[in-house]
Amino acid sequence: MKNLFSKIFKNQKDSPNDKDLNEQYNVMKNIILETAQKYADESQFRLVKDNIYEDLNDGDETKYRMTISYESDDDQYPLEDILDKFYLHVSDFLELENEPESGFFKRELAGELNDLINAQAIIGRTVYNQDFLDGKDVRVRLVIE
């Protein structure tokens, strides 16, 4: 099976050069922490630290939540890459609070406490995908500026 994020070039004439690579795309910016209204229900959520809440009805190790908002042209990437990098998942898409036509999104992320703490490294930063050459393969990496 071919890697979804890799293009293999069989010979040199088909190989891309640096100017053929996308330097910055799927840009996610203006990333901020939000406090979802549902967190006010103390029978459901408990503030742990720095806008990270424990879901009191979830007995799993990934019972911790934080809500982010951001601007992006693409709602899937680089969010998927961020989730993979920090071992998180989207626990609530907060559909009523999103404005997809304006490129504004809000998502509740869930995971283990330390993973959410580490993921706060994206707050206030610009995050995007970037192509790079790996031998004859063009691959995609996540960049956090």
| Structure tokens, 127 | 């995050």
List residues bridging with 49 in a β-sheet: 52
39: nearest Cα among 115, 110, 124, 121: 110
| Structure tokens, 70 | 């951001």
135: nearest Cα among 13, 24, 7, 19: 7
> What pLDDT shows up at residue 3?
43
What does each C-alpha distance from 123 to 1, 12, 38, 48 come to in angstroms? 35, 41, 21, 18
**b/e map of 55-94 (b: 16 or more CB within 10 Å)?**
beeeeeebbbbbbbbbebebbebbbebbbebbebeebeeb
pLDDT in tens, the chain (145 residues): 334 455 544 444 555 566 678 999 999 999 999 999 999 999 999 999 999 999 999 999 999 999 999 999 888 999 999 999 999 999 999 988 888 888 999 999 999 999 999 999 999 999 999 999 998 899 999 999 9
> What pLDDT shows up at residue 5?
52
pTM of the predicted model as reported, rounded to 2 decimal places: 0.85
